[in-house]
Chain A
């Protein structure tokens, strides 16, 4: 029996070997057809022609990359300029500690996207694949929102729901900026924003990176790179931009106001909260339900206390993975031909205005509330209505402590801060519903 099997194996083996020999013959012939003999100097010249140096020094006239004509400037010097910008961002992240978790992936993504020849940000490059998978589809911002929901304690908001109105007032910046973008378009010749573009830019004023990306992918995909970079940069700059505005709009007496201690919030209230918000959102603004829904899911997982493994994954592993992908693929939009246009400058200026107006709106609303409400409200917590969680609340706390080191505003500021997240998601829903 064994002998028979061995015999069959041998027979099969003999049958196969000649076919292998034939195959290698064919391969040799192919090789000879593709490859022409070259001299050593020719070999070096062709290697040089494939280098990045050549691609940057000798740009091709009229090159079209994925449907966009690329100017000779953007093939050479433009790429170098963009790489320099990316290194500035990396420097800011490492040396100054500006949102390093986001700026490093974004800046490195931008660096990769500007490499000549390799086309990493193209549809076949890995950044392009990530971009199409998560950003064009609007998936990554939602996953980030899940993580934010799983991280956020809505207790301070539940303890004093009125402070949610501050989170609403801070959204003024968004709409003020839309008006600003319209004015720029009407009165300057070189900047040209459509209404959709204006809305996508305005949302930077919400100081909410994922929401900005979510809206920009729907309304102005071309401006996504500049909008995302502006949104995240201003989020990182909260501690620098906000304090002067806060000082200018409040008096010393107002900054010294002490607020009543917050009541304790029961576990049941916290569990019901995400469901309540969902129901309101479903009734009034279904367009905002993707964002609010993801937030509510994450928060329910957290507060229910029975799915620790899931909420733990959402607030750590998942959000970290998505942040890496999101950062890199946002960075891929920092390619020279997309970024070095006059519109970018407009977006960066308008983003700053949006942000400052949002801060001012929150503070003014807090002053009004202080006048009319039974309980005193320190206007400093108004600035936390922009949704950069928890940075904005920390800034309020810090400014309060500068005047009176015993005045702890952090918990009071967290209320408007988390309401700001909900507020900007609602605004996103409104803007998306306008252009349906």
Chain B
């Protein structure tokens, strides 16, 4: 019997799209459930982002200042010699 390619390919379309959607819908459901469970039982620790970055930048500033001061000192020493 001659296989009608177009009919076969339409069957593939139905099979494929339904499988992909089934997989992704299942994934969406599972991921949402998972997110709920995780947020309920393992809530992420509160971190105040603002403060930590400020401290970090201050620290960075100090190191930069220290480096500049050191280089000025060494330059002065050299120029004295």
Residues of A near any B CB (own CB < 8 A): 157-158, 161-162, 164-165, 167-168, 171-172, 174-176, 178-179, 181-183, 185-186, 195, 198-199, 264, 266-269, 272-273, 276-277, 280-281, 284-285, 419, 422-423, 426-427, 430-431, 434
Q: Is the CB of B20 within 8 A of A423?
A: yes
Complex: chain B residue closest to A180, CB-CB? B9
Partner of B20, one of A176, A182, A269, A426: A426
**Are A178 and B12 interface neighbours, CB within 8 A?**
yes
Q: Is the CB of A427 within 8 A of B16?
A: yes
Are B9 and A178 in contact (CB-based, < 8 A)?
yes
Q: A175-B16, A186-B6, A272-B38 are in contact. List 19 more A-B contacts (CB 8 A).
A: A161-B27, A165-B21, A165-B25, A172-B17, A178-B9, A179-B13, A186-B4, A195-B8, A266-B39, A268-B38, A276-B34, A280-B27, A422-B27, A423-B23, A426-B19, A427-B19, A431-B12, A431-B16, A434-B15
B26 and chain A: residue at smallest CB distance = A280
Residues of chain B within 8 A of A186, CB atoms compared:
4-6
Query: Roughly how many angstroms separate A158 CA and B5 CA in the complex, as a whole number?
Result: 39
Q: Bound state CA distance, A430 and B24, in angstroms?
A: 14
Say what secondary structure dominates the interface of chain A: helix
Interface: B72 (CB within 8 A): no
- Taken together as a complex, chains A and B put the C-alpha atoms of A284 and B26 apart, in Å, by 10
A430 touches B34 (CB 8 A): no
B 22-33 to A, binary, CB cutoff 8 A, 1 in contact else 0: 111111101110
Report 17 cross-chain contacts, Cβ distance below 8 Å, ordered by A residue.
A162-B28, A164-B24, A165-B28, A168-B23, A182-B6, A185-B5, A195-B8, A267-B44, A268-B42, A272-B38, A273-B31, A276-B27, A281-B23, A284-B26, A423-B20, A423-B23, A430-B15
Q: Which of A165, A181, A273 has the most CB of B within 10 A?
A: A165
What are the residues of chain B within 8 A of A434 when measuring CB–CB?
12, 15
Give, as a whole number of angstroms, the nearest-CB distance from B44 to chain A. 4
Cβ of B1 under 8 Å from chain A: no
Contacts of B31 in A (CB 8 A): 157-158, 161, 164, 273, 276
Q: Which residue of B lies closest to A264 (CB)?
A: B44
Chain A residue, CB-CB nearest to B42? A268
CA gap between A419 and B28 in the complex, in Å = 10
Q: Is there contact, CB below 8 Å, between B9 and A195?
A: yes
A266 in contact with B5 (CB, 8 Å): no
Query: Measured between C-beta atoms, what is the minimum distance from B33 to chain A in Å?
Result: 10
